[in-house]
C-alpha cells in the first residue's frame, strides 16, 4: 500500500469516527438543546414579559410624598401577622411599586405596595411566577439537582457536537462558498438537506459556544467548582472589599441573598452587638443613596442578632453590580464589593452573564440572543430530519465504527474534554462500558449500532 493510500485510509477512518460521535451526540442531546434554546429565548425577554404580565402590580401613579419604607413594612406585617419579612425593594423609578419579601409557612411571597398611598396592591407567590418556572426549566428541567446535572451534561456534550460538527463542515476540496457558507438549492434534495443542516450550524456555532461557556458558571457541579477555584485563587474577589476589621462568619453571601455571581462566595461579616437600636429600613435607604447604589437594589433584612443588612444590586449592566454588607446596629459598611473590585475572571464572568441574559446592551443584545436560539432549534430539527431521511429501515443508521487504533488523536481530544468537563468524562466511561459489555457481545445490538 502506498503512502497516499495509507493517508486516504487514515483520513477516511478519522472522518467516520468523528461523524459517528457527532451522530450520537446530536441524536441524544438535540431534544434537550431545543428545550434550552426555547426557554432561553423566552427568558431573554423577561423584563418585557413580566412588565406585561404584572403591570397592575408594578405600576403606580406618583401622588404627593412617598410613604416611608418602615410604614409600608408595618402595613405588610398587619396584613400577614404570621409572616417573616425578609427583604425590601424600593423600586427603581417613581412609577414603580415597592416590594416586600416575606416568608409565610415556609413559602416565599412578594407583596407589592403603593409607596404613595401605603396600600397593598397585591401579592405573588414567587414560585408561581411564569418566568421563574421558565428559568427552572432552563436550568434544571424542573427536577432539581438531577435536572441540573442533565443540563450541565448536555451543554458540555454540545461542545463535543460543535467540535465534531466543525470538522465535518470544513471543506476538503475547493468548491467555493456553495455548501460551505451558503446552501445549494440546485443540487437536489439530498444535498440541500445536508446544506440546510451544516451551513446554518456553522453560522450559529460561535454564538452557541458563547452561550454554553457563559451558562456553565451557573451549573451545579462544574460551575460550583469553578467558582470555588476562582474564589480560592483570589481572582474572584480581593480582600480589599473589607472596609474594616469586621468579624467574619462561615456564611456565604449566596446563602442569605440573591447577589451577582462574583459575590456569591463572599464571606458574610457579623454585626457588632451593642446597645444600639437596629437601623430602620429608611436609614438603609439613606445609606444606599449616600453610597451611590444602583436604584434597582434590594435590601435583605437580617434574621439574627449577629446578621447584617445586605444590599444587592443586580442591574442590567455588569458595571453597575453592587453587593454591600451593613452592620445592622451602627450602619457601618462592613463590605463593599462592586464590579471595579472584581479581578479579571470575575469581570469576564459578570459580562458573560449579562450578555447571556440579554441585558447588557438592551434590545440589540436580546435580538442577537434570540437569533442564536432560533438557529440552535433549526439546526437541531434539520439534523434530526437529515437522520430520518438517511436512516436505513430497522437500523439506527450510525456510521460504521472504525478500530480504536485509527482514532488515537480523536480519543486524546475526548480525554482532554473529559478532564475539563468531568461529567463528560464520566459519561464517556459509561458509554464505553455499555459498548464493551453489551453492544460488542450481543450480535443484534452490534448490527443495530453498526459497531
Confidence bin at 260 (pLDDT 50/70/90): confident
Average pLDDT of span 375-389: 92
pLDDT at 11 over 90: no
pLDDT at 238 over 60: no
Task: Yes or no: say if 237 and 323 are a contact pair by the CB < 8 Å rule.
Answer: no
Task: Yes or no: say if 151 and 35 are a contact pair by the CB < 8 Å rule.
Answer: no
Confidence bin at 207 (pLDDT 50/70/90): very high
Res 158: pLDDT: 92
- Segment 315-359, tens digit of pLDDT: 999 999 999 999 999 999 999 999 998 888 889 999 999 999 999
Res 16: pLDDT: 80
Res 272: pLDDT: 83
- Segment 281-305, tens digit of pLDDT: 999 999 999 999 999 999 999 999 9
Task: Yes or no: say if 84 and 74 are a contact pair by the CB < 8 Å rule.
Answer: no
- Locate 76 and state its grid cell: 405588610
pLDDT at 234 over 80: no
Res 392: pLDDT: 81
Residues in the chain, how many?
451
Q: Point out which residues pair with 87 in neighbouring strands.
A: 101, 300
* Beta strands 98-104; 107-113: pairing state: antiparallel
55-64, 316-325, 423-432: segment of lowest average pLDDT: 423-432
Measured distance CA(40)–CA(370) in Å, rounded: 8
Res 277: pLDDT: 86
In 3-state terms, the chain is what percent helix, strand and coil (to 5)?
55, 15, 30
Confidence bin at 445 (pLDDT 50/70/90): confident
Measured distance CA(299)–CA(256) in Å, rounded: 11
In sequence order, the 6+-apart residues with CB closer than 8 A to the CB of 154 are 29, 32, 33, 36
∠ CA 50-51-53, nearest 5°, is 60
Long-range CB contacts for residues 362-369, cutoff 8 Å, separation at least 24: 362/316, 366/44, 366/45, 368/207, 369/40, 369/41, 369/44, 369/211
Closest CA to 284 of 245, 311, 254, 248: 311
Please give the DSSP secondary-structure letter assigned to residue 438: I
Res 24: pLDDT: 85
Sign, CA dihedral 250-255-256-258, equals: positive
Average pLDDT of span 421-427: 86
Check residues 173 and 120 and name the one with the higher pLDDT. Answer: 120
pLDDT at 101 over 60: yes
Closest CA to 304 of 82, 77, 84: 84
138-142, 240-244, 424-428: segment of lowest average pLDDT: 240-244
Amino acid at each position: 500500500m502506498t503512502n497516499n493510500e495509507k493517508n486516504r485510509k487514515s483520513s477516511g477512518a478519522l472522518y467516520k469516527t468523528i461523524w459517528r460521535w457527532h451522530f450520537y451526540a446530536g441524536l441524544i442531546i438535540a431534544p434537550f438543546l431545543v428545550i434550552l434554546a426555547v426557554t432561553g429565548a423566552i427568558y431573554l425577554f423577561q423584563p418585557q414579559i413580566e412588565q406585561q404580565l404584572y403591570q397592575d402590580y408594578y405600576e403606580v401613579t406618583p401622588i404627593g410624598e412617598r410613604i416611608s419604607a418602615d410604614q409600608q413594612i408595618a402595613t405588610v406585617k398587619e396584613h400577614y401577622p404570621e409572616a417573616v419579612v425578609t427583604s425590601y425593594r424600593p423600586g427603581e423609578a417613581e412609577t414603580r411599586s415597592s416590594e416586600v419579601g416575606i416568608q409565610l409557612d415556609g413559602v416565599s411571597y412578594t407583596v407589592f405596595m403603593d409607596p404613595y398611598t401605603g396600600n397593598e396592591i397585591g401579592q405573588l407567590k414567587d414560585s408561581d411566577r411564569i418566568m421563574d418556572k421558565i428559568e427552572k426549566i432552563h436550568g434544571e428541567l424542573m427536577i432539581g439537582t438531577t435536572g441540573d446535572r442533565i443540563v450541565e451534561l448536555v451543554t458540555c456534550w454540545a461542545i463535543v457536537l460543535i467540535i465534531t460538527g466543525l470538522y465535518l463542515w470544513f471543506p476538503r476540496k475547493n468548491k467555493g462558498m456553495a455548501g460551505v457558507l451558503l446552501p445549494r438549492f440546485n443540487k437536489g434534495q439530498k444535498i440541500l438537506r445536508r446544506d440546510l443542516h451544516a451551513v446554518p450550524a456553522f453560522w450559529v456555532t460561535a454564538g452557541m459556544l458563547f452561550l454554553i461557556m457563559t451558562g456553565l458558571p451557573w451549573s451545579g457541579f462544574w460551575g460550583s467548582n469553578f467558582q470555588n477555584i476562582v474564589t480560592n485563587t483570589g481572582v474572584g474577589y480581593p480582600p480589599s472589599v473589607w472596609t474594616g476589621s469586621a468579624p467574619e462568619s462561615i456564611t456565604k453571601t449566596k446563602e442569605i441573598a440573591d447577589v451577582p455571581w462574583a459575590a456569591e462566595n463572599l464571606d458574610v461579616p457579623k454585626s457588632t452587638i451593642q446597645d444600639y437600636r437596629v437601623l430602620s429600613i429608611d436609614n438603609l435607604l439613606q445609606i444606599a443613596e449616600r453610597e451611590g447604589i444602583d436604584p434597582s437594589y434590594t435590601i435583605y433584612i437580617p434574621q439574627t442578632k449577629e446578621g447584617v443588612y445586605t444590599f444587592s444590586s443586580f442591574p442590567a449592566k455588569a458595571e453597575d453590580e453592587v453587593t454591600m454588607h451593613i452592620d445592622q446596629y451602627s450602619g457601618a459598611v462592613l463590605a463593599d464589593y462592586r464590579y471595579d473590585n472584581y479581578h479579571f475572571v470575575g469581570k469576564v464572568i459578570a459580562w458573560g452573564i449579562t450578555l447571556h441574559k440579554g441585558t447588557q446592551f438592551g434590545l440589540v443584545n436580546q435580538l442577537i440572543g434570540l437569533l442564536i436560539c432560533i438557529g440552535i432549534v433549526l439546526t437541531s430539527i434539520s439534523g434530526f430530519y437529515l437522520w430520518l431521511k438517511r436512516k436505513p429501515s430497522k437500523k439506527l443508521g450510525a456510521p460504521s465504527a472504525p478500530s480504536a487504533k485509527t482514532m488515537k488523536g480523536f480519543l486524546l481530544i475526548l480525554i482532554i474534554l473529559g478532564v475539563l468537563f468531568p461529567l463528560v468524562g464520566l459519561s464517556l466511561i459509561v458509554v464505553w462500558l455499555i459498548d464493551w459489555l453489551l453492544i460488542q457481545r450481543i450480535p443484534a445490538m452490534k448490527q443495530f449500532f453498526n459497531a
